[in-house]
Amino acid sequence: MGFGLAVNISPESIQENGVVGAGGAGFPAHVKMRARAELLILNAAECEPLLHKDKELLEHFGDEVIRGMQAAREMVGARKCLIGIKNKYEGVISRLEKILPADFQIVPLADVYPAGDEFILVYDATGRMIPPGGLPLDVGCVVNNVETMLNIARNRPVTRKYLTITGAVKDPCTLCVPVGISVREVIDAAGGPAIADWVVLLNGIMMGRLAPDASVSVTKTTGGIYIFPADHPHIRRYQRSLTQINRIGRSACDQCSFCTEMCPRYLLGHPIEPHKAMRALGFTMDKAALIVGTTYCCECNLCTMIACPEDLDPMNVCAQDKQLVKQMGLKWERGGREIKARPLYPARRTPTKRLMNRLGLRQFENNRGALREGVLAASRVRLPLKQHVGAPCAPVVAPGQRVREGDVIARPPDGQLGAVIHASISGRIASVGDAIEITA
Ligand code: SF4
Ligand code: SF4
């Protein structure tokens, strides 16, 4: 199989196509493609339980993903491309191996959480340690998600999104949908909820967020829709307010430090100790703790979901602290200490199976989620003006105007970071506000 030259693909075309990191953060992809790096790494770790989207894309469109990587490696000048994928996906790995160019290498990853955290992935794949607060570029790497590479290869406006619908749904599957379609329509396409009293969790069980209701739109960064029983203990955790989290944490934390002992960033040698943030709560009432090391928390949620025996929420304590530290412009000074993974790093990692057991997820099938052919039709879409890191886009269309799929409907303000937004269906602009609605 030939991959051809990526003749028309450039940072400019990627910018005009509105490609963003599809792994969740939504960082505009053209910015990364203007960097120079020695290694290009494909993040196919997909470590959130029950998600299958990236695996399915590699299974069905592996050649396109590799073509996207070829184009990306030319742009950043990488000498080698690595594909970080869980070693349990033997079938996908063997199919990819048959079509890989010579300077591509598969890096099989352990089935642990959070294998897809960039700091962890870069360390596992290359042995290089990104400094605390740093970027993969600091160690000569650029990391990209599978769907981002697919979007780069397709070299067209990003109007579609792949996502897995899972949990208490009748027919778990992976679908291609127009950006802006409602979550409710996607759930219905997967057979509808399998239970009466349910809620929606977007993008992940560990790092996702609770949707206010099922009318919210799918955006360029939605990778998964989970239907959960409304009374699931995990959902109750999501519903606690920060004031409750801080008050309970302050009174109940016994400083066992399990949260720190299991923290993947701490195990990587970074200066983060969530138990100290919890301890500091005791001195600050329900205000944030102000521990500078919390800046390096990746919000993986392991400390809260798995480590803490008291059902406390060190992750959210660290997350609010991070905001405060950022506002105050404080930074941890490295002080000459070399950052090295702690000796217990390999032994203390959290296997996905254990995660599934501890979170009560065994009731859901983790082996379903195959990609269905075609694109789901939508009669109406709602495209938020901010689906990316950076400034919200400004609309360039008005109500009543006709648009075709792929037409530009909003652009980032001049000179500001952002990603162009395109009509995801052909139709008429129904309204323009903090989102643009189009009816087919
Ligand atoms: S969420 Fe908890 S376990 Fe994860 S990085 Fe932050 S402090 Fe560590
Ligand atoms: S694991 Fe829980 S109880 Fe133990 S130190 Fe951390 S927050 Fe406190």
Best residue for ligand 1 mutational test, from 130, 261, 299 (most atoms within 8 Å of Cβ): 299
Phi, psi of 75 (to 5 degrees): -65, -40
How many helices (H) and strands (E) the chain has is answered by 15, 19
Beta carbons within 10 angstroms of residue 11's beta carbon: 18
261 within ligand 1 shell (Cβ under 6 A): no
249 within ligand 1 shell (Cβ under 6 A): no
pLDDT of residue 292: 64
Say how many Å lie between the CA of residue 230 and the centre of ligand 1.
25
Closest residue to atom 8 of ligand 1, CA basis: 263
- Domain span(s) for CATH 3.40.50.11540 in the chain: 11-154
Domain spanning 379-440: which CATH class is it, in words?
A: mainly beta
Q: What string of DSSP letters covers 175-242?
A: EEEETT-BHHHHHHHTT-BSSSSEEEEES-SSS-EE-SSTTSBP-TT--EEEEEETT-HHHHHHT--H
Instruction: Provide the CB-side half-sphere exposure for 386 (13 A, CA).
Output: 9
Domain spanning 159-232+360-376: which CATH class is it, in words?
A: alpha beta
pLDDT of residue 3: 44
Question: Atom of ligand 2 at shortest distance to CA of 303?
Answer: 1
Angle, vertex CA 319, rays to CA 119 and CA 251, nearest 5:
130
Say how many Å lie between the CA of residue 302 and the centre of ligand 1.
6
What pLDDT tens digit does each residue of the chain (440 aa) get?
344 445 589 999 999 999 999 877 899 999 999 999 999 999 999 999 999 999 999 999 999 999 999 999 999 999 999 999 999 999 999 999 999 999 999 999 999 999 999 999 999 999 999 998 889 999 999 999 999 999 999 999 999 999 999 999 999 999 999 999 999 999 999 999 999 999 999 999 999 999 999 999 999 999 999 999 999 888 888 888 989 998 898 889 999 999 999 999 999 999 899 999 998 887 775 555 566 678 899 999 999 999 999 999 999 999 988 888 788 777 666 555 678 999 999 999 999 999 999 888 888 866 678 999 999 999 999 999 999 999 999 999 999 999 999 999 999 999 999 999 999 999 999 999 999 999 99
For 238-246, which contacts have Cβ atoms below 8 Å and span 24 or more sequence positions? 238/201, 238/209, 238/210, 239/210, 240/313, 242/286, 242/316, 242/320, 243/286, 245/312, 245/313, 245/316, 245/317, 246/281, 246/285, 246/286, 246/287, 246/288, 246/317, 246/320
Rounded CA separation 142/144 (Å)? 7
276 within ligand 2 shell (Cβ under 6 A): no
Contact 278, 249 (CB under 8 A): yes
3-class state of residue 374 by DSSP = strand
Closest residue to atom 4 of ligand 2, CA basis: 256
Say how many Å lie between the CA of residue 264 and the centre of ligand 1.
7
Closest residue to atom 8 of ligand 2, CA basis: 253
Contacts of 401 by beta carbon, 8 Å cutoff, 6+ apart: 428, 429
Buried b (16+ CB within 10 A) or exposed e, 218-253: bbbbbbbbbbbbeebebbebbeeeeeebbebbbeeb
301 within ligand 1 shell (Cβ under 6 A): yes
- Domain span(s) for CATH 3.10.20.600 in the chain: 159-232+360-376
316 within ligand 2 shell (Cβ under 6 A): no
Say how many Å lie between the CA of residue 358 and the centre of ligand 2.
17
305 within ligand 1 shell (Cβ under 6 A): no
Kind plus residue range of the DSSP H or E element containing 63: helix 53-76
Rounded CA separation 294/290 (Å)? 8
Rounded CA separation 346/138 (Å)? 23
276 within ligand 1 shell (Cβ under 6 A): no
Question: Atom of ligand 2 at shortest distance to CA of 256?
Answer: 4
Rounded CA separation 202/376 (Å)? 19
253 within ligand 2 shell (Cβ under 6 A): yes
416 within ligand 2 shell (Cβ under 6 A): no
28 within ligand 1 shell (Cβ under 6 A): no
Say how many Å lie between the CA of residue 315 and the centre of ligand 1.
6
**Among candidate residues 48, 134, 162, the one with its CA nearest the CA of residue 143:** 134
Closest residue to atom 3 of ligand 1, CA basis: 263
- Domain span(s) for CATH 2.40.50 in the chain: 379-440
What kind of fold does domain 11-154 have according to CATH?
A: Rossmann fold (3.40.50)
Rounded CA separation 322/328 (Å)? 10
Best residue for ligand 2 mutational test, from 237, 253, 303, 358 (most atoms within 8 Å of Cβ): 253
Best residue for ligand 1 mutational test, from 257, 263, 305 (most atoms within 8 Å of Cβ): 263
69 within ligand 1 shell (Cβ under 6 A): no
pLDDT of residue 7: 57
Span 91-142, pLDDT tens digits: 999 999 999 999 999 999 999 999 999 999 999 999 999 998 889 999 999 9
Contact 55, 255 (CB under 8 A): no
Question: Atom of ligand 2 at shortest distance to CA of 314?
Answer: 7
Span 260-319, pLDDT tens digits: 999 999 999 998 999 999 988 877 755 555 666 788 999 999 999 999 999 999 999 999
